Structure 1
Amino acid sequence: MDIKTLHDADIIGISTAKSAFDTLATAFGQHIESWQHDVVDRLGHSEWTGTAAGHANTRISNLGTELQSAKQELGLVSRALQDAYDGFAAAQAHLISALDDAKTHKLTVAADGGITWDKDPNSPNFAGNDAENQAKQIQARITAALNEADHADQTINTRLGHLATNASNGTGLDSATAKADTDAANALEQVPAAGTDPNSVKAWWNGLTDEQQHRMILNHPDQIGNLDGIPAAARNDANRTNLKNLIQDRNRQLNDLGPAPKQYLGYVKGEPVTNPEYEKWKAKHDALKEKLDGFQSIQDRLDGKKDGGLGGPNSDPPLLLLGIGDQGQGRAIVSWGDPDKARNVSSLVPGLNSTMAGVGGGDAMTAKRIYDSAVSSAGKNETPSVASVFWLGYDAPQLDGDSVAAKDRAVAGGADYNKFLAGLRATHEGAPAHMTAQGHSYGSLVVGQATQHPGGLAADDIILVGSPGVGVDKASQLGVGADHVYVGAAKNDPVANAPSPGMLGGLGELIYEQINHPGKQAWFGTDPASEDFGGQRFSVADGTITDSHDDYFGKHGAGGDSLPNIGKIVSGHGNAITRQDPR
């Protein structure tokens, strides 16, 4: 495909052909109806019996099936032509827009796509000091438009060629073939179900034209934005749309609640009697308000209303919204930098008390500090290339219950985290990225559970900080090799030093734990910071009982070597960490 061919293409002819096939399919359908009425129904009401009648009825029934299959195939030709028109129209529009912008910036585009401009500041045709940058951007847009047209051309050629072959050799009259062809066409218009293998999702997405992808983002932002295997840029576009929808929906629901009912029905012996209707109203109101505040916090971050504009439209690195949803306590995944392009990708799973509101606030800055540390840890001859993800894709335990003492949330979260990293691996461009899975506090248990799925976890290194245990007894059981499991545990961290359930349950349970799980015990298995676990312990500050658990990522500025060590690991230089003896 070249510029002139696409620019001058008369795509109206495709639409005309599509209309012609619509007319043909309609007429064919009418013939089938006539056949049914004039032949099949009349024969069914006749009194013709015997061997010949049986053979005739069988043949007529088969013929009816063949006619219905042929009608389906005709309809598929029409759908293929419509998709071709949409794809070529989008590519042509993108090309014309790029060429118009080239004229506006006084750039000359050659037939082969090369761009030149007048560099003389005294010339009336001087393109300006930013001409080179503008030329690069426009050339990229032209190339993208031509590639888009090539993709549409190849796709439609394959689909029409298949249908033409079916028509010429008679396979299109087979009901199974017609069904398979229909299912394939429907697959181009239907979003894969949540939980679909990310590699299959990526193949489906790549099979769509740019226009089809755009329509999917517009029409199904909640599904596309949270589907592992969709590229990060597309997820970000979809999730930003869905976030606005979620905010509008929560505001509408709050308005629909109306004013609060009377709080008290009266007094009995001087004590207020609570109105049950008020309690119901307040429960609904508070739940909606909590979600709304979380969504709005993330929107404010994306709009650049926090921390001097960090995360806003002009933020460097860009902040991508890779997940957003109202399931459970809410879901939110953000990334500083594009994980599809970065050479080093970190994904942090938070723990106790993590919320959506936190993702928009301090938690986003936790991921940013990891990003900055990894960039500064790059080698002298390396160009820093990092993406730092904060993954709140599960219901983190809260202090208002005993969920932190159970594994169920980690098991469910681990399955989703495993799928998320598999999606990042599937969509990454070029050579595979160096991927680091990080778990803080209860989040380390989520990471541990994620490693236990078939095929393991799509990570090269694992970092565990402030961990109450990861559900296994040895670092070697995490699937990346014990020398790639890095552990940070502050001396005064109350979570990393919490006693195991066996130590709390009396001598009998303690003996049971030591027999079945030898080694220093944490709440969920062997203490990751212990020598028995076998990981690589890196240096962190001792901290205090009140701040050490939250300071592994430099939140309070007293984490010592912790954040620099994490940056070294994320940037692929784990061999350069400052080490600390296991306990």
Structure 2
Amino acid sequence: MTTWSDLQKWDGDKFDHLIDVLVAIRHKASDSGEYVRDIDVSSGWTGAGATAAQNRRKGLANSSAFLLANLGEMIRITGKAQSDVNTVKTLVFEVQSLADHYGFNISTIGKVSDPNPIKRSTGDIIAPYDTDHENKRKDRKNALKQCQEKLEYVIQMARLSDEIYTRDLNNIANGTMVAKEGLDYPTPGLSDIPPNKKDPAQVAAWWNAHTDGEKEALIRDNPDLIGNLDGVDGTSRDKANRWRISRDKEALTRKYTPDQLKTNQAYQELSAIERSLTKNNSDTQLLVYEPATGEKGHEKARAAISAGNVDTADHVATYVPGMGTSVKDSMEGNVSTVTNLKNTAVRQDPSQKVAVVAWIGYDAPPNPQSSHDYSVMDLNKAKSGGESLARFEEGIRGSRDARVGGRSNVHMSVLAHSYGSTTASYGMASVRRGVVNHFAVFGSPGIKDGAWRMNVPKGHNYVLEFNDDVIRKANAAKKFWKTDDSLGWHGKDPTMDLGFKKLNPYGPTTKETGHSGYLADGGEAQIKIAKVVLGTAG
């Protein structure tokens, strides 16, 4: 019976070696299968010997296909088991963080208790409205219930995952697998698409199981899938996405006149992406390309471009911009900004390889003054964007881990400005534990819950704020309105959160302040943020 004490030892990294061995065996089996497939025992040969040779070749082909089917299934179910264990690991951390935040105790058998419950006072009873004391009592009581319910859910999930993996292993051991594809199939034993496209860990295991030739064929035959698939390496995504933007731009050129293209949103977005890819001396990767669908919340294209190679860099940082950002109007400037940041980091330590991603992977809210769109006042875009960001980060980590057959040494950070910091905080609250090493916000209108909810190591959250940042005034207004000094406009004010280390943006190199001055090239704030990129901010 799985207990709370057992779950604290669960670690998906323990599957890395097994998956690496399975992948290596599959690659060898695939090569052998190709050899068997190409054996010619029919040309210019007849008689009993020829018939026997043909039958023997057919038997070898069937055996190879059966072996590849079993290996493919082993990789699939083990990749899913690893993903499930990592999810449990993250949820265990979240439960423990919630308990620690409120000072709750968790017993070895999974019972949550409150050693310092808040009792209802006489003032609470006679007051015609809920007092601050009563609100704190209710919050603590609800948190205790939530902590217990989450703990019980994690235990149930862990038990179910264990049962499913055991069942699937027994099915393979009992010889119930059937080879559905012969050796003539492009990827024998593996599905054309990953078993779960929304799980980067499973995608990484699926992608790494393919041979180099199979990967090239998938990029060629299905670039729309591969280009945005979190868990696929950056080089492959870049190759697929560059082909896609060339195809889409050519299609628009055939459809519209030159004058029409000047005002065509999709064409202008593609042009902005192409110009952005020339930055950093063209040492860039197009990691996300999602054309606008016209659906609510996806009226604009989404893209992510790295300055540097995310597959080989020692440090990979992702920059999340905020209000008013779009691919058409902001991509080029953002790629220039991250290129400058990368160069500043490299100057600090020339021995390190750095890649910084400009991530516009969500429809950031527009400036309400010019658009009359007030979506910046709510959290809907932050929540949906945060989910996409979490998968993007898990995809980079997963692809890097898969490439080395274990835990990669890549250091990963997320840097976020303005509304982007709110978006990123939702991502950091849901990203799997162990994916992101450092998180920095600047000009932040607020984050989800607080530092204790961020799935990064304790002490690895940072905040910068200029005194003349307009967001500082907005946060002050919310504090006054709600009579709560911990609040920002969109959640907790990270400058008031002891879990966020304050980095001083002022110094001898300060060039620009205000809401837009944090990444001014060569400025003190940029230098401090570059230290976060390198993991040396303290």
Give me the TM-score of the superposition, normalised by structure 1: 0.56
The corresponding residue for 1:345 is: 316
What is the DSSP-based 3-state SS (H/G/I as helix, E as strand, rest coil) of the residue aligned with 1:448?
Answer: helix
Residue 355 of structure 1, CA deviation:
1.0
Alignment partner of 1:464 is 2:487 = no
Q: In the alignment, which residue of structure 2 is the partner of 1:214?
A: 216
User: What letter is aligned with 2:249?
Assistant: I
In the other structure, the counterpart of 1:487 is 463
Aligned partner of residue 358 in structure 2, secondary structure: strand
Aligned residue number for residue 177 of structure 1: 178
- Tell me, yes or no, if structure 1 residue 526 matches structure 2 residue 492: yes
Could you tell me which residue of structure 2 aligns to residue 452 of structure 1? 429
**Which residue matches 2:270?**
295
Aligned length in residues: 371
Map of 2:516 onto structure 1: 550
2:504 aligned partner, one-letter code: S
- Do the aligned partners of residues 187 and 293 (structure 1) sit closer, same or farther apart at CA in structure 2, a change above 3 Å counting? farther
Structure 1 letter corresponding to 2:524 = D
Aligned partner of residue 245 in structure 1, secondary structure: helix
- Classify 1:259/1:180 alpha carbon distance in 2 versus 1 (closer, same or farther; 3 Å): closer
Q: Residue 251 of structure 2 aligns with which residue?
A: 249
- Matched ranges for 1:232-243 at <5 A: 232-243=234-245
* 1:112-511 pair list within 5 angstroms: 177=178, 188=190, 190-192=192-194, 195-254=197-256, 289-302=264-277, 304=278, 310-312=279-281, 315=282, 318-327=283-292, 328=298, 329-378=300-349, 383-399=351-367, 400=371, 401-428=373-400, 429-430=403-404, 431-453=408-430, 455-456=432-433, 458-472=435-449, 474-499=450-475, 502=478, 510=481
1:75, CA displacement in angstroms? Answer: 12
- In structure 2, the CA distance between the partners of 1:370 and 1:221, relative to structure 1 (3 Å rule), is same
Shift in alpha-carbon separation, 1:187–1:360, aligned structure 2, 3 A: farther
- Indicate how the Cα distance of structure 1 residues 196 and 187 shifts in structure 2: closer, same or farther if over 3 A, else same: farther
The residue type paired with residue 502 of structure 2 is R
* Shift in CA distance, 561/188, structure 1 to aligned 2, threshold 3 Å: same
Find the aligned partners of 1:193 and 1:360 in 2 and give their Cα distance: 33
CA–CA separation in structure 2 for the residues paired with 1:181 and 1:322: 33
SS at match of 2:456: coil
1:377/1:355 CA distance change after superposition, 3 Å: same
Q: Distance in 2 between matches of 1:12 and 1:477?
A: 53
- Determine if contact 2:306/2:356 at 8 Å carries over to the other structure: yes
User: Alpha-carbon deviation of 1:441?
Assistant: 0.7
Residue-by-residue CA offset, 1:424-445 (whole Å, 9 max, x unaligned): 1111255321111111111101
Partners in 1 of 2:41 and 2:203 — Cα distance?
Answer: 29
Bigger relative contact order, structure 1 or 2 (CA pairs below 8 A, ≥6 apart)? 2
TM-aligned CA deviation for residue 409 of structure 1: 0.6
Task: Determine the structure 1 residue equivalent to 2:532.
Answer: 569
Aligned runs of 1:3-152 on 2, under 5 Å? 14-15=37-38, 17=40, 77=65
- What does the per-residue CA deviation read over 1:243-288, in whole Å, with 9 as the maximum and x for residues that have no partner? 1122123334435xx999xxxxxxxxxxxxxxxxxxxxxxxx89x7
Q: Deviations over 1:108-152 (max 9, x none)?
A: xxxxxxxxxxxxxxxxxxxxxxxxxxxxxxxxxxxxxxxxxxxxx
Q: For residues 369 and 419 of structure 1, what CA distance do their matches in structure 2 show?
A: 26
Task: Mark the CA change 1:237 to 1:522 in structure 2 (over 3 Å): closer, same or farther.
Answer: same
Alpha-carbon displacement from aligned partner over 1:11-70 (angstroms, at most 9, x marks no partner)? 8974355999xxxxxxxxxxxxxxxxxxxxxxxxxxxxxxxxxxxxxxxxxxxxxxxxx9
* Contact 1:393 1:417 (C-alpha < 8 Å) held by counterparts: yes
Give the 3 Å change call, closer, same or farther, for CA 12–386 of structure 1 in structure 2: closer
Q: Provide the C-alpha distance between the structure 1 equivalents of 2:214 and 2:315, rounded to a whole number of angstroms.
A: 31
Distance 2:67 2:409 in 1: 37
Would the aligned equivalents of 2:316 and 2:355 in 1 still touch at CA under 8 Å? yes
TM-score by length of 2: 0.61
Change (3 A) 1:249 1:533: farther
Q: Deviations over 1:143-185 (max 9, x none)?
A: xxxxxxxxxxxxxxxxxxxxxxx9xx996xx7x7356999996
Cα deviation digits, residues 499-535 of structure 1 (max 9, x gap)? 47756xxx8xx3xx34xxx4242111222122x4541
Q: Contact 1:195/1:419 (CA < 8 Å) preserved in 2?
A: no
Matches of 2:287 and 2:527, distance apart in 1: 26
Residue identity in the other structure for 1:384: Q
C-alpha contact 2:394 2:431 (8 A) present in aligned 1 = no
> Given that residues 521 and 527 in structure 1 are in contact (C-alpha distance below 8 angstroms), is that contact kept between their aligned partners in structure 2?
yes
How many percent of aligned residue pairs carry the same amino acid?
26
Letter in 2 for 1:325: E
Deviation at 1:226, TM superposition (A): 0.6
Distance 1:185 1:237 in 2: 20
Matched position secondary structure for 1:348: strand
1:496/1:347 Cα in 2 relative to 1: closer, same or farther (>3 Å)?
farther
> What is the SS of the residue equivalent to 1:227?
coil
| Structure 1 residues 237 and 484: CA distance shift in structure 2, 3 A | same
The amino acid that maps onto 2:446 is G
Question: Deviation of residue 404 (structure 1)?
Answer: 0.8
Cα deviation for residue 413 of structure 1 reads 0.7
Q: Which amino acid aligns with 1:15?
A: D
Deviation at 1:459, TM superposition (A): 1.0
- C-alpha distance in 2, partners of 1:326/1:194? 22
Structure 2 distance, partners of 1:19, 1:361, is: 60
State the one-letter code of the partner of 1:177. V
Segments of structure 2 that go 5 or more residues without pairing to the other structure are 1-31, 44-57, 70-171, 293-297
Question: 2:416 & 2:422 partners in 1: Cα distance?
Answer: 7
For the residue of structure 2 that corresponds to 1:458, the secondary structure is: coil
Following superposition, the deviation at residue 455 of structure 1 comes to 3.2
Task: Label 1:188 to 1:501 Cα distance change in 2 as closer, same or farther (>3 A).
Answer: farther
Instruction: Name 2:165's counterpart in structure 1.
Output: none
Q: Secondary structure at the match of 1:467?
A: coil
Q: Assess if the C-alpha contact under 8 Å between 1:217 and 1:224 holds in 2.
A: yes
Provide the secondary structure at the position in 2 that maps to 1:352.
coil
5+ unaligned residues in a row in structure 1: which ranges? 1-8, 21-69, 82-165, 261-284, 305-309, 576-583
Change (3 A) 1:484 1:238: same
SS at 1:495's partner residue?
A: helix
RMSD of Structure 2 on Structure 1 (CA): 3.9
Tell me if the contact between 1:418 and 1:458 (Cα under 8 Å) persists in the aligned partners.
no
